[in-house]
Structure 1
Amino acid sequence: MSTDTESSYADGFGQVSRTAGTAFRYLLLGATMFGIVTLAVLLVYVANDAIRPLTADLGWHLTFFLTLVVPTAVVGGYLARRNVPALKLGGMVIGMLGVFLLFSGGVAIVFVDIVPPLTGLSYVVGLLVPAALTVVLTKYEQQIPFTLRVAATGAAFILSLVGVPGYFHSIPEIVRQLPVVPADWMILTLVLGGVAAVVVGQYVARIREDTTAGLAAGASALVLTGLAAVVGPTLGVDANAAAVVTSVAFVPTLAYAGGAAVTREQERIGLLLAAVVIGGSLVGAVAVDALGFAGPQSWVDWQFLTSAHSGTAENAGLYPAIGGSILLMATVAALSFPLGVGAAVYLEEYAPDNAFTRFIDVNISNLAGVPSVVYGLLGLGVFVTYLGQPTGTVLIGGATLALLILPIVIISSREAIRAVPSDMRQASYGMGATRWQTVKNVVLPEAFPGILTGTILALGRAIGETAPLIMIGAPNVLFSLPTELTSKVSAMPLQVYAWSSLFASEDFYTKAVPAGVVVLLAVLLAMNSIAIVLRNKFESEN
């Protein structure tokens, strides 16, 4: 028998050395650890400059150590030794709450500041009519030809959202012209709370296999959102903010935790970890406030997140750039997702295997590696110079970034579609389904988790890009939120770039820049976390 220092020969592989294999393994491990440690040091360095934890009083640190760190370590250590799945469940609930709280901030920016609640309600009502018609037509898909259904649905959407100028007002216009309208917090409760109620109701009905329980859970979610909006002002919280945070963050997290407590008996003890972390944080916050201990003098504070740019680092904020990034990502997703998935479906399911198709494949792969500044030049040349569109707008910025990530979306979508077993397609064909029916009912549902994960990761790349926005003439700083597709737009990375170059000073380098980087990294980590969770969820279901 050979030893670690022996060499032998294997057919087709030549000389095989265990020593070389072991050395190569440890070399890879060392390279991986070096990269992880280097990145961790960089993140800690930036976070320390932005959050400045050492500026807090010793009593502040001691209080949170006793109320949060010690209980979390005790409970987490116990679960790590006795019930690892329960530990994962507790971590999942904590992570969900954190990501949803971050997401609720973006929702509040969109549905409170960028789009007034009444305008949002008008478009929701305008979409409900054609959506209901679509559902009805789908039930009669065997009797009504596909072309007629598409034409009827398209006409319904156009008439509902646009109307006929001079003859028929659109539904959003009719809603906005009503003589009496509800308060903003009522609208947010109805719209966002209604969406949360539907999602929670369906989730509870599925896990409990009881429609009545689902209806009760949905009604409870809606009532909880309204109650938060009513009680919030008495606690110093804006009613609109309370409605948004409750419907987007608290209600889904409570529903997931409650569902886990019912269906996962062996793991529900992990919810204790979430309770300890959340409760410890609240108790610690109340204690330090009562005892008068000063917390960290962080640059990432409410003023930084809700203020516009200023000539001084102490007063500078990221709010318009955050809103601009949200609008850009919405535009990018709306453009790149249907185009990318459509191209992937065609190339995988319909395109013949010939020289032209292979030529397209090679070019898509090459385009995925093209530097982002080239896409900026493309956007400048096509959208601004050739089409004559204004520079630096939400639409032009979103279209340019959509071109940037389109090859990535196509490649990831093709991989997800290619991973669908061919036996499933053949079974569908064997039952008499057409190619389109097979794609719609078999391939796309099976490939959707991979498609969604790839798209979210591609959006994560787009949100961190600066060069394309500079090339299309986006302003480095803005003092107000963009509210339309034709509005000038800035973004978080562009704002950070401006602080580190155009407004270069020691104050901006050590205060505003690290704070902006931390906010941007938090958004990127949240997006990547969502992609990972969705992938794991769908993989476990399959």
Structure 2
Amino acid sequence: MATTDESTGAWFGADGQVSQLRGQLFKASCLGATLLALFLVFVFLVYVAVDAIEPASADPSWWATVVATVAVPGIVLSVYYYRFDPRAGEVAYTAVGLPVAATLLAGGVGIVFRHIVSPHEWFALTVAALVAYGVLELHDRVRAAGAFERAAISAFVIVFTIVGLPGLVPSVRSLLLSLPVLPAAPLSLLGTFVVPVALVTGWYVRHARESERAGLIAGGSTVAAAALGVVSGPLVVVSWTTWLLLTTVVGVPVGLYVEGVFRRGEGVSGLALPVVLAAGAVICAGVVDMAGFAGPDIWLNWEFLTTAHNRTPREAGIYPALVGSVMMIIVVAIAAFPVGIGAAIYLEEYAPNEGMFGSFVELIEINIANLAGVPSVVYGLLGLTLFVKSGGLRPGIVIVGGLTVALLILPIVIVSSQEAIRSVPDSQRQAAYGMGATKWQTTRSVVLPRAMPGILTGTILALGRAIGETAPLLMVGVAAVVRISPDSFYGLFSAMPRQLYSWAGLAQPDFYHGVLAAGVLVLLIVLLMMNGTAILLRNKYQRND
């Protein structure tokens, strides 16, 4: 018997059954929108990749060799994982992506040691930090100070060990740098960079395997492998800096991941995919070399990544802009994240919710949310006013560009951190209070560990936006082309999006097709790796919860 209720009659048919037509149409519309978005992104990526790689310039035999030795085995294994062993598929894709992401990170660390902090400066900074930590630990053991006194002593010790008083009292760091004899550069990095990484590695393996011996072996192997590169680097035509970074930044994460897969015993067969791809690449290179097949005339090559801009398209590179982007992101991270996360913690955990102050806090939160949607060019004008006009800083330097972009992403960091903190169940806070914990202890030990996955995800995505912004850089006078990489945060620089904007305006077709496409591909790879890292962190912590 059909219903006659006007409010529900549209959902029921004559036989009294619920109609599923609207639900199916809604589902199909959502699926179509998703597929359309993915298709448009895919078309854009293919368009850029074709211009950057120029696949038509390669011999058909070269492509046939690549497909037969690399593509076909990889596709066959991927289909097998998808159909029969999804867990191995997750391991396989992580094992392929992790070395790539670690290599990109190693390149960023290499830029830091080459242009920002020398090995001796890193050595002095690390020793000064250790001295500061030792003094603070000694103070805590000798005197039970209150929170205010502890904060004042910490600030005093950090200033006099790392910064000092210019012209009056030298810091421990500057005293170390003034010594007539310092450890050689390889030994400086080996002791102050490799050894801390080895200690963390040993600690992780010790707790994962619950074995002191396993931790000692892991840490000792890390130091031994890095030291071997320092000694035998000239024999294998690899610089000692590159060897140290490959050992610590690439080898350690990959080794720990492989060790974890074998230890858990889940998806071990997924480790075959990177081995098969690497073996196929070696075989492909050998066959192509022996047969003399010509590969594509690609624009995105090693020379493009390591050279500066040139008026000749084939000799143009993106290296100074890449260095500038890395240095700018360091400034953005230092300036925006502590302030943004601290503001989010205060607004969610400490700010009053009632009365006049509660209304004022609500007004602040509304304005922060609105600031997250302000056009980026407005932040460029704000940075120009604050740091150049009022602050007296030179336009176009790294510190100005970084602080301006930090203002841009600060509301995003605050809002995303607030959402992550707000997602922590209030029952956990009440349980901590019931056990006698203070507000600070509850925030530090209960709220922040639970909210950290969301905070990390939001901040990494904010960094992804920061590295791709162009309008604020234009407003603060960032140069279109810089042929020499900046060697300090007060040097003139260019960033990747600013360099791409400059190439797009050149009249030569090779620039706005080949060179521009190669630069866009580099920027897209960096953005995709950052966004992928955020997704992996979120998924990992969600599984742990």
> How high is the TM-score relative to the length of structure 1?
0.93
- Call closer, same or farther: CA 1:535–1:132 in 2, change over 3 Å: farther
Residue 32 (structure 2) pairs with residue 30 (structure 1)? yes
1:31 Cα deviation after fit: 1.5
CA distance in structure 2 between the partners assigned to 1:462 and 1:497 by the alignment: 16
Alignment map for 1:8-27 (pairs within 5 Å): 17-27=19-29
Stretch deviating more after TM superposition (34-43 or 13-22): 13-22
Alignment map for 1:106-505 (pairs within 5 Å): 106-134=108-136, 143-165=144-166, 168-263=169-264, 265-353=265-353, 354-501=358-505, 503-505=506-508
- Call closer, same or farther: CA 1:177–1:455 in 2, change over 3 Å: same
- Call closer, same or farther: CA 1:169–1:32 in 2, change over 3 Å: same
CA distance in structure 2 between the partners assigned to 1:190 and 1:10 by the alignment: 75
1:214 Cα deviation after fit: 1.2
- Call closer, same or farther: CA 1:185–1:302 in 2, change over 3 Å: farther
1:163 Cα deviation after fit: 3.0
Report the 3-state secondary structure (helix = DSSP H, G, I; strand = E; otherwise coil) of the residue aligned with 1:499.
helix
The CA deviation string for residues 324-365 of structure 1, in whole angstroms up to 9 with x for no partner, is: 101111111111111111111111111122221121111111
1:433 Cα deviation after fit: 1.7
Residue-pair matches, total:
536
Q: Give the conservation status (yes or no) of the 8 Å contact 2:115–2:488.
A: no
1:520 Cα deviation after fit: 0.3
The aligned amino acid for 2:102 is: F
Unaligned runs of 5+ residues in structure 2 are 13-17
1:529 alignment partner, one of 504, 529, 532: 532
Report the 3-state secondary structure (helix = DSSP H, G, I; strand = E; otherwise coil) of the residue aligned with 2:48.
helix
Q: Give the conservation status (yes or no) of the 8 Å contact 1:133–1:153.
A: no
Q: Give the conservation status (yes or no) of the 8 Å contact 2:226–2:247.
A: yes
**Sequence identity of aligned pairs in percent?**
45
1:27 Cα deviation after fit: 1.4
1:508 alignment partner, one of 501, 506, 511: 511
1:44 Cα deviation after fit: 0.5
- Call closer, same or farther: CA 1:197–1:53 in 2, change over 3 Å: farther
CA distance in structure 2 between the partners assigned to 1:385 and 1:480 by the alignment: 26
CA distance in structure 2 between the partners assigned to 1:451 and 1:323 by the alignment: 27
Q: Give the conservation status (yes or no) of the 8 Å contact 2:11–2:19.
A: no
CA distance in structure 2 between the partners assigned to 1:209 and 1:140 by the alignment: 34
CA distance in structure 1 between the partners assigned to 2:389 and 2:269 by the alignment: 61
CA distance in structure 1 between the partners assigned to 2:166 and 2:343 by the alignment: 35
Report the 3-state secondary structure (helix = DSSP H, G, I; strand = E; otherwise coil) of the residue aligned with 2:436.
coil
1:12 Cα deviation after fit: 12
1:385 Cα deviation after fit: 1.4
- Call closer, same or farther: CA 1:407–1:241 in 2, change over 3 Å: same
- Call closer, same or farther: CA 1:297–1:8 in 2, change over 3 Å: farther
CA distance in structure 1 between the partners assigned to 2:22 and 2:35 by the alignment: 20
Report the 3-state secondary structure (helix = DSSP H, G, I; strand = E; otherwise coil) of the residue aligned with 2:385.
helix
The CA deviation string for residues 251-273 of structure 1, in whole angstroms up to 9 with x for no partner, is: 2111211121112x132121112
CA distance in structure 1 between the partners assigned to 2:460 and 2:382 by the alignment: 23
1:291 Cα deviation after fit: 4.3
- Call closer, same or farther: CA 1:338–1:140 in 2, change over 3 Å: farther
- Call closer, same or farther: CA 1:391–1:481 in 2, change over 3 Å: same
The CA deviation string for residues 130-180 of structure 1, in whole angstroms up to 9 with x for no partner, is: 234445667789x33222222222222111112345665323223323333
Q: Give the conservation status (yes or no) of the 8 Å contact 1:204–1:259.
A: no
- Aligned position for 1:65: 67
Stretch deviating more after TM superposition (248-257 or 51-60): 51-60
- Call closer, same or farther: CA 1:12–1:129 in 2, change over 3 Å: farther
CA distance in structure 1 between the partners assigned to 2:54 and 2:196 by the alignment: 39
Q: Give the conservation status (yes or no) of the 8 Å contact 1:188–1:244.
A: no
Stretch deviating more after TM superposition (407-416 or 68-77): 68-77
Report the 3-state secondary structure (helix = DSSP H, G, I; strand = E; otherwise coil) of the residue aligned with 2:482.
coil
1:281 Cα deviation after fit: 2.5
Stretch deviating more after TM superposition (181-190 or 358-367): 181-190
CA distance in structure 2 between the partners assigned to 1:536 and 1:450 by the alignment: 10
1:391 Cα deviation after fit: 0.8
The aligned amino acid for 1:466 is: T
CA distance in structure 2 between the partners assigned to 1:152 and 1:18 by the alignment: 69
CA distance in structure 2 between the partners assigned to 1:192 and 1:344 by the alignment: 32
- Call closer, same or farther: CA 1:12–1:337 in 2, change over 3 Å: farther
1:402 Cα deviation after fit: 0.7
1:437 Cα deviation after fit: 1.8
Unaligned runs of 5+ residues in structure 1 are none
Report the 3-state secondary structure (helix = DSSP H, G, I; strand = E; otherwise coil) of the residue aligned with 2:329.
helix
Q: Give the conservation status (yes or no) of the 8 Å contact 1:324–1:490.
A: yes
Q: Give the conservation status (yes or no) of the 8 Å contact 1:336–1:403.
A: yes
Q: Give the conservation status (yes or no) of the 8 Å contact 2:300–2:518.
A: yes
CA distance in structure 1 between the partners assigned to 2:47 and 2:142 by the alignment: 61
CA distance in structure 2 between the partners assigned to 1:10 and 1:231 by the alignment: 81
The aligned amino acid for 1:190 is: G
Q: Give the conservation status (yes or no) of the 8 Å contact 1:496–1:513.
A: yes
CA distance in structure 2 between the partners assigned to 1:11 and 1:493 by the alignment: 55
Give me the CA root mean square deviation. 2.4
CA distance in structure 2 between the partners assigned to 1:236 and 1:58 by the alignment: 34
Report the 3-state secondary structure (helix = DSSP H, G, I; strand = E; otherwise coil) of the residue aligned with 1:432.
coil
CA distance in structure 1 between the partners assigned to 2:4 and 2:26 by the alignment: 15
1:13 Cα deviation after fit: 10
- Call closer, same or farther: CA 1:190–1:70 in 2, change over 3 Å: farther
The CA deviation string for residues 504-537 of structure 1, in whole angstroms up to 9 with x for no partner, is: 3212111210010000001001111111111112
1:74 Cα deviation after fit: 2.9
The aligned amino acid for 1:490 is: S
